[in-house]
Amino acid sequence: MEVAIISPKYQVVIPRKIRELLHLTPGQKVQIVAYGNRIELIPERKISEMRGSLKGANISFQRELDRV
């Protein structure tokens, strides 16, 4: 687990190890979501980078009756 410190200007530096692992770049946008007492940062990606990300996903499920 990595640790970051909130600056007096409420800024947080994402540790290098995490930036490299997630291939984050300067100026890249992240979505910020609060869940109870935690915060999640979700990197925004170009739609072209998402191509093929759902390949092999299980799509066999029973639809709800009002969705048919």
Third-level CATH fold of 1-45: Pemi-like Protein 1; Chain: D (2.10.260)
Query: Cα-flanking dihedrals φ and ψ of residue 34, to 5°?
Result: -100, 125
User: Per-residue pLDDT tens for 10-65?
Assistant: 999 999 999 999 999 999 999 999 999 999 999 988 777 767 777 888 878 777 87
SS (H, E, C) 7-59: CCCCCCCCCHHHHHHHCCCCCCCEEEEEECCEEEEEECCCHHHHCCCCCCCCC
The residues spanned by each domain of the chain are 1-45
DSSP state of 67: G
- Which residues, including other chains, have CB under 8 Å from residue 18's CB and lie 6 or more apart? 2, 24
pTM (2 d.p.): 0.61
